[in-house]
Each structure stands twice: as C-alpha cells, then as structure tokens.
Structure 1
Amino acid sequence: MQISSVSRVRAIHRHIARLVAVDAAFMPIFERMESELMEAEAAESTDPVIQARMISKARMISEARRSRQA
C-alpha cells in the first residue's frame, strides 16, 4: 500500500516544525512545506470550495515568502 501524498507531506511538515522549535533558521522550509501541504490537501479534496480555499492560502504563503526574500 502506498502512502498518500498528503500523509507524506504532513509527516515532513511535522518534522520541520520540530526543527523550527529548536532553530528558527528552518522557518523558510516550514513555510514552504505549509504551502505544499495545503496544495496536497486541495488536490485530494473533492469539494471545490475547500480546493479553492487551500489553493488561495497556499498562494498567499508563497507570495509572502517571496516578498520577504526580495
């Protein structure tokens, strides 16, 4: 049995969160994983409203991350 994409991303997300608790230098990775988790959850959802919300939130996180890097 193959682990779902959401399950894998969620596990990585949780691991990175633990790293952030120890060292804030991991925050950019956490933010990226946050965005990827939302996208993965949207892809697995059958509800178009949930999909749109998750995609919107993921884009907001990505745009905020990019604006801080500029």
Structure 2
Amino acid sequence: MERSLAVKCPDIGTHLAGTKKVQQELARPGVLEKFFPDDPEAVAQIRAAFAGLHSLDMGEEGDKTVAMALANPDR
C-alpha cells in the first residue's frame, strides 16, 4: 500500500494511530510516561481525554472485561 503513488488519506501511520488497539495500548499505565517523562501535567491532560477502552482479548484482561459487562449490563 505504501509503495503506491496514489494519494493516501490518511497515511498508514495516521491510520494505525487511530485504531482502538493502539489507543488501548497508550491508555495502559506507564506508557504515556515513556513519551512525556518530564511532563506529568501533559500525561494527566492526555489521560483525561481517553474514553474507557476494554479488551476482549482471550486471557485475564478479557475475562475481567466480560465479568464487568455481565455485572453491569445496562452500562
């Protein structure tokens, strides 16, 4: 795809940055701090803009999400 001379909107980097999985990884504790090690205020402002992202991957994290959904199905 990136070898094409066609105009790409958005480019592949921007497209990937907008995916929910990338957003989910950025929301993990400690990840934003790697990008803004000297600016905890920036980290707090970015985190305040995040919506709740919950994994449905197989494993412990996905199991917790399913349990949370079953406990509060109206949410």
| TM interval, short-chain normalised | 0.3 to 0.5
Larger Rg computed on CA atoms: 2
* Structure ranking higher on relative contact order (CA contacts 8 Å, 6+ apart): 1
